[in-house]
């Protein structure tokens, strides 16, 4: 368990909040009246059984889904819905449940793609590899190399990502998100399908990102041990409804949560 | 020596005419690289660009504009038309289909084909319009070496030069620029591209615009060769074997594919034609493509197909 968090975070400033968000597809209610907030520099977990609406929640936050009701406040600005470009520009980066990399490109190019918004020079200059544009490319390339070092993937930087094993693909995807230097990092099941060793590596990277860069992290995860170890606060969804919200310890003891996970005798 | 001179003439003529196929194939490659979509409408875009150009040239010439001014204005007008159509296609066809399967996008380009063909002929007319932008007379090389020299069509030479410049520019664009990287990213995964802040609608507009301008260049050459007419849309079919041989994702591949097809079909016509009754050049390219498909389905220059299981 991460010791310092609870008290500090409790007083922390709110980075993002969703209020009364409802989202449905036709007759299916993916989210019903969900409200919670994410505070600066915390690790916030979103958990729940399959189909609870966790990924839908991330998609709402980063603008892939537009909720029918509710408000999203990010960095003090309130909107009915985000747009993906707004979210990215505002500093929200994410990874995907089923790794979504640019499969035809190298690990390096994938992470460079994360720098898209940091590079401002017109493409004519880039075409000529001249002056300020060249400078900019080198600068961004340096940042990317730092990320590559940090994630310990030097050996595979030139490898086309489609050839990489799953665990490394996940790591490259994290690298691409980090390359955006996000204020809020959304991780959709960063450890799904990994073995114990890979999970430990990934946990270490997540903790390091949070500690060293102060990046706020919201993550979805099924492995309860991981969630309890990593997160400062947990929000629990079930069938699109929020059923609990609190520190890992509080949530663990919550009867509604136990029922949702284990089922109740009727 | 006579035979060798003939061989050279057929080979060079074939290579150059192959490059003209490449000009059309390039438009396909651009859109495929940037959206993973096979753009059925590329031939129709060549027709639209050609009609806009030739009709505005006629219009300006009738108003007494001097030749060069008419050409500059005509090209600008045709480029404007291609810009508008790129915008409209992104806005009303592709934009609403973000995150859809490649096959759905492909079907939508078939729709675009018919709309472009219909509208362009409705606005600009459906006759055969002669276009004269390049010299079309013959050129004799190395007359001292071979009796009669090697006959080349100047138009083909021009076409080859233009294609070379286009390819060099486009290859740089894809490999060296942030926009090029963004294009490749969008082709691989729409959502992931959006998540790193790549504006898909802008990228698609840019790529359809560039493909439209490539279509315009192809139209200037092919229009001079055949006259601007509806049958120009069938060039798209001629570009298919070029794409299969060169690979759908490779700009240099489009050129190499064109060279192979052009030289192959002309040589086959010259040497096998007499014994097989002629007409070989109409199907030879497709047979070549079939062979390549069996040996190397991604094309000679295409990206390796990698599947982890």
- Domain final residue, candidates A161, A181, A201: A181
Chains A, B: CB contacts within 8 A come to 96
pLDDT tens-digit readout, B205-236: 888 998 999 999 999 988 888 888 888 888 77
Partners of residue B188 in chain A, C-beta under 8 Å: 101-105
> Within a domain: residue B282?
no
Domain count, chain A: 2
Could you tell me if residue A3 is inside a domain? yes
Residue B8 lies in a domain: yes
Q: In the numeric block, which tokens belong to residue A50?
A: 């399959």
Which range of residues forms the domain containing residue B140? 2-232
For residues A213 and A264, membership in a common domain is answered with yes
Q: What does the pLDDT profile of chain B (309 residues) look like in tens digits?
A: 457 778 888 888 888 888 888 888 888 888 888 777 888 899 999 999 999 999 999 999 888 888 788 889 999 999 999 999 999 999 999 888 877 888 898 899 999 999 999 999 999 988 888 888 887 777 776 666 666 667 778 888 888 888 888 888 887 877 777 777 788 888 888 888 888 888 888 888 888 998 999 999 999 988 888 888 888 888 778 888 998 898 888 888 888 899 999 999 888 888 887 787 777 878 888 999 999 889 888 888 777 666 665
Find which of B98, B169, B176, B195 to mutate to test the A interface (most A CBs within 10 Å of its CB). B195
The domain that holds A73 is classified in CATH as 3.40.50.300
Rounded CA-CA distance A203/A226 in Å is 7
Q: Taking CB atoms and an 8 Å cutoff, what residues of chain A touch B195?
A: 62, 84, 88, 93-94, 96, 100, 177
Contacts of B193 in chain A (CB under 8 A): 102, 113
Query: What's the CA gap between A104 and A97, in Å, rounded?
Result: 19
Q: What distance in Å separates the CA atoms of residue A112 and residue A119, rounded to the nearest whole number?
A: 10
Q: Clarify whether residues A44 and A117 are in a common domain.
A: no
pLDDT per residue over B83-128, tens digit each? 999 999 999 998 888 778 888 988 999 999 999 999 999 999 888 8
Residue B70 lies in a domain: yes
Q: Could you tell me if residue A96 is inside a domain?
A: no
Judge if A190 and A82 occupy the same domain. Answer: yes
pLDDT tens digits for A47-80?
Answer: 988 888 899 999 999 988 999 999 999 988 888 8
A78/B226 Cα distance (integer angstroms): 60
pTM of the model: 0.76
ipTM attached to this prediction: 0.79
Q: Is residue A73 part of a domain?
A: yes
State what percent of residues in chain B have pLDDT above 70. 94
What is the SS3 string spanning A125-171? HHHHCCHHHHHHHHHHHHHHHHHHHHCCCHHHCCCEHHHCCHHHHHH
Decide: helix, strand or coil at residue A197.
helix
Distance of CA A100 to the CA centre of its chain: 13
Structure tokens at A48: 């729940």
Mapped onto helix, strand or coil, the DSSP state of residue B272 is: coil
Same domain, yes or no: A227 and A108: no
Whole-number pLDDT of residue B215: 93
Please check whether residue B248 lies inside any domain of the structure.
no
Q: How far is A101 from chain B (nearest CA, A)?
A: 7
Dihedral, B253, B258, B261, B262 alpha carbons, nearest 10: -150
């Amino acid at each position: 368990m991460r010791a310092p968090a609870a008290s500090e975070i409790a007083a922390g400033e709110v980075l993002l909040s969703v209020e009364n968000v409802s989202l449905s597809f036709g007759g299916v209610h993916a989210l019903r009246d969900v409200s919670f907030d994410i505070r600066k520099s915390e690790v916030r977990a979103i958990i729940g059984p399959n189909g609870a609406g966790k990924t839908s929640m991330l998609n709402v936050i980063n603008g892939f889904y537009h909720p029918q009701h509710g408000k999203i406040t990010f960095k003090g600005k309130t909107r009915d819905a985000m747009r993906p470009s707004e979210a990215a520009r505002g500093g929200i980066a994410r990874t995907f449940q089923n790794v979504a990399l640019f499969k035809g490109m190298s690990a390096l190019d994938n992470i460079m793609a994360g720098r898209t918004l940091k590079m401002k020079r017109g493409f004519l200059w880039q075409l000529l590899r001249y002056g300020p544009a060249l400078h900019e490319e080198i600068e961004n390339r340096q940042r990317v190399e730092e990320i590559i070092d940090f994630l310990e993937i030097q050996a595979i930087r030139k490898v086309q990502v489609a050839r990489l094993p799953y665990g490394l693909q996940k790591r490259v995807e994290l690298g691409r998100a980090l390359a955006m230097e996000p204020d809020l990092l959304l991780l959709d099941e960063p450890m799904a399908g990994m073995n114990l060793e890979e999970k430990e590596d990934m946990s270490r990277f997540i903790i390091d990102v949070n500690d060293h860069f102060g990046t706020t992290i919201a993550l979805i995860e099924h492995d309860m041990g991981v969630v309890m170890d990593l997160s400062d606060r947990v929000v629990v969804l079930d069938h699109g409804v929020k059923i609990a919200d609190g520190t890992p310890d509080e949530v663990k003891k919550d009867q509604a949560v136990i029922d949702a996970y284990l089922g109740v005798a009727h | 020596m006579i035979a060798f001179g003939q061989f050279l003439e057929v080979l060079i003529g074939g290579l150059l005419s192959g490059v003209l196929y490449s000009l059309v194939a390039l438009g396909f490659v651009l859109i495929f690289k940037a959206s993973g979509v096979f753009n059925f409408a590329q031939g129709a875009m060549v027709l639209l660009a050609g009609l806009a150009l030739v009709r505005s040239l006629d219009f300006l010439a009738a108003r007494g504009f001097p030749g060069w001014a008419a050409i500059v204005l005509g090209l600008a007008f045709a480029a404007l038309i291609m810009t508008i159509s790129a915008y409209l296609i992104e806005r009303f066809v592709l934009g609403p289909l973000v995150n859809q399967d490649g096959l759905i996008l492909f079907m939508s380009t078939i729709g675009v084909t018919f709309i472009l063909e219909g509208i362009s002929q409705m606005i600009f007319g459906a006759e055969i319009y002669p276009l004269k932008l390049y010299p079309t007379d013959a050129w004799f090389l190395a007359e001292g070496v071979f009796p009669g020299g090697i006959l080349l069509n100047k138009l083909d030479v021009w076409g080859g030069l233009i294609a070379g410049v286009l390819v060099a520019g486009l290859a740089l664009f894809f490999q060296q620029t942030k926009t090029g990287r963004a294009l490749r990213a969008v082709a691989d995964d729409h959502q992931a591209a959006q998540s790193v802040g790549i504006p898909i609608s802008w990228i698609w507009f840019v790529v359809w615009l560039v493909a439209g301008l490539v279509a315009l260049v192809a139209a200037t050459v092919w229009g001079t060769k055949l006259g601007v007419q509806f049958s120009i849309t069938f060039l798209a079919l001629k570009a298919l074997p070029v794409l299969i041989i060169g690979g759908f994702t490779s700009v240099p591949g489009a050129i190499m594919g064109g060279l192979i097809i052009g030289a192959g079909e002309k040589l086959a016509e010259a040497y096998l034609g007499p014994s097989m009754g002629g007409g070989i050049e109409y199907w030879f390219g497709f047979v070549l493509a079939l062979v390549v498909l069996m040996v190397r389905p991604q094309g000679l220059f295409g990206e390796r197909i990698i599947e982890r299981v």
